[in-house]
Structure 1
Amino acid sequence: MTAKAPITQDVMTLPRKLPQEGKVNLVGMTRDQMREALIAMGTTERQAKMRVGQIWQWIYQWGVRDFAEMTNLSKAYRADLDAAFVIEIPEMVSRQVSEDGTRKYLVRIAGGHEVEVVYIPEEGRGTLCVSSQVGCTLTCSFCHTGTQKLVRNLTAGEIVGQIMMARDDLGEWPKPGEPKDETRLLSNIVLMGMGEPLYNFANVRDAMKIAMDGEGISLSRRRITLSTSGVVPEIARTAREIGCLLAVSFHATTDEVRDKLVPINKRWNIETLLDALREYPKASNSERITFEYVMLEGVNDSDEDARRLVKLIEGIPAKINLIPFNEWPGAPYKRSSNNRIHAFADIIYKAGYASPIRTPRGEDIMAACGQLKSASERQRKSRRQIEAESGLG
């Protein structure tokens, strides 16, 4: 497939920031953690709760990163904060804008590791696809991130920091003292980027609690969707401790095929997964579980597969998102034809389930997850090879 050149490409090579020695990053702390940190700095217990509320609003409602701008705090207290803490988010390494408006970011986190974030604008809304791990352990055969080894989990600060970075780029932080614009360019979050969110549960939970906090970024829990490949023991916990919507990376209607596409199926098979979904506390007609189903030519796209899928999900409030495969160099699969996808969707629709076909986005900027990171790594490798061959390395 020949990709079109992106309408805009703004690639920046940024100097790597060195951490400020001895200072603690406030981004990603829960309110309780921030309160304890302020008390350890010397804030009295009586004042700590109020100070947390003030600092929280500056960071998450106004997007302020400089303590000097926190004008409802005394100068002396601001100086104390500046001596003890930093307000840092992942740094943007590159930014690409597709001809369809999709924005793809490569961001650098502590240790020099890189992850991807994708912003998808739509009519009346905008969705940010957030990563939760560097690489992934799941090796799903159709997923580009699955070709990259797991390096580590992201911290809560690195996860919520992706949201803050996107708001920076979109110019979406309100200004203190000015009327608040209720139009949200970034209105939804999907945890569908690099990694399996339920293998990094505590950090994902804490980051989403920050995103949902009404005195900050203030996104409704129903505006957040967590996608899992099927980590069954953590599914009910997701409802209890996060309360967001759930999506399942399903992709097959038999264990034989799903074992190959989504190898975690060997541990928790289709029957076990569906049993857990039937008991999901948040599942209802208003909060349906989304079944993600990537359409792979000759693998999982037959009429028989469609009929089997309908039978499998019987009794679960659900919709099925059909995803045309976003092909990447060296991928072992091909995208199903449009006719095949529509025939598959029609069977599901006639059975009474919503079956939207996702419009491919950002193909000209390699928006399939993991592609930009791989390209960056190949570029660095090429530079190293050139330096070695020239005797400069």
Structure 2
Amino acid sequence: MTRALRSIASYATLAIGLAGILALLFAWQLPPFNFSDARTDNAYVQGQVTLMSPQLSGIVAAVPVQDFQTVKKGDLLVKIDDRIYRQQLAEAKAALDAANNALDANAQTQETAKAQIASANADVDSAEATLANANSQWQRIQTLSEKQVATQSSLDTARATLDQAKASLAKTKAALDVANQTLKSAVINRDTLKANVASAKAAATLAEINVENTEITAPRDGTLGQIKARVGQYVSAGTQLTSLVPDTVWVVANYKETQLPGMKVGQKVTFTVDALDGKKFTGRIERFSPATGSEFAVIKADNATGNFTKVAQRVPVRIAIDPDQADADKLVPGLSVVTTVDMKDGGDGNNALASR
């Protein structure tokens, strides 16, 4: 009886050992369990999760949404107190008005200078005519004086009139130069005033953007995560207020490099979702990662060591989910899935390496 029990125990131990070995072979998909289909449980649902943050600082004035609420593009998520920014906008608009007024005043200055130039030209013409007349009178009186017909007083008067006409002409020419310089200065100053207007306009636009940025709105349709913003809370630029998860999702499966041979873009994929009690969905391989996951790690492993052990690396594979599937709306980023690639499917002919 004891010998029989020992035989049974030996057989039981052998069976347990074989079962363990078979389990390891199955887990690693080694012969005789190296099926044609490539399977992995290192796979997850992914989506474009957007972290919502303000671009400026301020006190939270309103939070009209709740955790996990569905929102549409443009819906208000968080409102920041905008009183300071509206005052800055009013100040910027006032500065813009002042710059525009200065530019308009410059245009008026130019017109005034042009009128002064025209008036100075007329004065020069008048002064030249007066000088010509005074010079003629001087010559006539001088001739008469030489003949002792004109008196010395007349000669002195004619001489004084001539000198006065010459001075008047010089004065009008100087006024003409001043008018020309005034016009040139106004023309040169106009470029500076235009630059001031452009600067003031940019400041006003920036102030308007700041006012708009006090309202954080949904950039697209989707579902919100947890709301971290609270009314009365002071937030600064970059503070995470909430997150937005759009409806578009996909699967990223991390396959071992030894599973890649024969894997192609377009091949059919089936996957089950743990959270949905193993419900099966279908999809297609969309593209392959340009490098293994280890290459994107913050701290990379240094394989140039004496105790190197070869480990099969994993390559992320993006899988597009087929549309119009029941319960597909329940697939959310982060869920664990188990994917199986139909290696018998021809796909589109591009394998994992040739697809890039």
TM-score of the aligned structures, taking structure 1 as reference length: 0.17
Judging by fraction of residues, say which structure has more helix: 2
Pick the structure with more strand per residue: 2
TM-score, normalised to structure 2, is 0.18
Determine which structure has more spread, i.e. the larger CA radius of gyration.
2
